[in-house]
Amino acid sequence: MKKYNVAILGIRGAVGQCMYSIVKERKFPINKLVLISPSGAGGQLDGNKYVPLTKDVFNGIDIVLSSPGADISKEWAPVAAKAGAVVIDNTSYFRMDPNVPLVIPEVNPEDIKKHKGIIANPNCSTIQMLVAIKPLHDFGKIKRIVVSTYQAVSGAGAEAVAELEEQLKGSKLARKFPHQIAHNLIPQIDVFTDNFYTKEEMKMVNETHKMFHDHKIRVCPTCVRVPVKNGHSESVNIETRSKITRDQAIKLLKKAPGVKVIDDVKSSKYPLPIDADGRDETFVGRIREDISIPNGLNLWVVSDNLRKGAALNAVQIAEILIKNKR
């Protein structure tokens, strides 16, 4: 089997660390692994020393798994691509670039072949929603999505997790969030735009349109930060052109790649973020027909936002790349 020279850009961050763990777990065929820290050298993982971000660091690299922040990706992803690497970027910078494919392997793997050196990883909340609803869209064609997300603090980084832990011990200090997050919910993720939706919410709208290749789908999101350490949850309501019954939906979802159905309400079994933590699947439950419209379904969707919502999705793209010989 051919082996590849792989770099992880942004190794000190939570997603970078998760990328490292996942390439090891999945036995990605690595010849040389370079761990790049934009903040400079110092530190290591399993004997692999962190190296600083320089122009020459990408020489001979085949694939870059990138999560260093949008500003750094803006400058350095094109440098890496020019050096001959394919960059799979987890930041928001390239997602809506018409020349950069935005990819979820279970949703639109065919778009990977359109890359010109850079492939964008979608937003975590969009990833788990689309993994869950893609088989339903293929069957009944979705017209409208109303989604409320309940997003863990790990989605805001290590400092946010530390802030939650400090507040649970009695601290009232709020640095990462505009309000106390412990024992609270904050109906704001990212800043508000002119239409009174946040940037996080508009990501779900725009990314859904791009990956489903259908700008007619109406998407209405509300994104909420919750005092959960890791694992995003979503209440997803879809309206389809053709009716999908609960039984049909369960059958479709059980066959879908990357999806695990947990739906036994009599035994109080449904997806929970505490159970999704550290898992690769997107969990779906509370599947029921919408009693307010003829062709509607409600779903409860849970996933580990650091794994499938970021690092795992990037590694899965890399696996398809090497299958396609880049």
Looking at the structure, tell me whether residues 55 and 157 fall in a common domain. Answer: no
Same domain, 88 and 140: no
38: tokens are 């934009």
Are both 186 and 272 inside the same structural domain? yes
Q: What is the reported pLDDT for 326? A: 74
**Any idea which residues carry the catalytic annotation?**
124, 232
Per-residue confidence (pLDDT) for residue 112, from 0 to 100: 98
pLDDT the model gives residue 55: 86
Spatial CB neighbours of 238, under 8 Å, sequence gap ≥ 6? 133, 136, 142, 144, 145, 146, 296, 297, 299
Do residues 118 and 232 share a domain?
Answer: no
Residue 259 and residue 198 share a domain: yes
Helix residue ranges, H only, the chain: 14-25, 70-82, 124-140, 158-168, 199-212, 246-255, 273-276, 312-323
Q: Do 114 and 138 belong together in one domain?
A: no
Length in residues, the chain: 326
pLDDT values of the chain reduced to their tens digit, one per residue, 326 residues: 899 999 999 999 999 999 999 999 999 999 999 999 998 878 889 988 999 999 899 999 999 999 999 999 999 999 999 999 999 999 999 999 999 999 999 999 999 999 999 999 999 999 999 999 999 999 999 999 999 999 999 999 989 999 999 999 999 999 999 999 999 999 999 999 999 999 999 999 999 999 999 999 999 999 999 999 999 999 999 999 999 999 999 999 999 999 999 999 999 999 999 999 999 999 999 999 999 999 999 999 999 999 999 999 999 999 999 998 77
130 and 76 in one domain?
Answer: no
Using alpha carbons, select from 231, 228, 237, 239 the residue that is nearest to residue 282: 231
186 and 317 part of one domain: no
CATH number at residue 194: 3.30.360.10
pLDDT, residue 276, reads: 98
Which residues make beta-bridge pairs with 261? 284
Q: Within 13 Å and on the Cβ side, how many CA atoms surround 54? A: 8
Nearest to 157 by CA among 217, 229, 206: 229
Asked if residue 139 and residue 51 are part of one domain, the reply reads: no
Provide the number of structural domains found in the chain: 2
Assigned token pair, 216: 């007619």
pLDDT at res. 196: 98
- Are 90 and 138 in the same domain? no
Report pTM. Answer: 0.96
Domain that holds residue 71: 4-123+310-323
Instruction: Please report how the helices 124-140 and 246-255 are oriented relative to each other, as an axis angle in degrees rounded to 10.
Output: 120
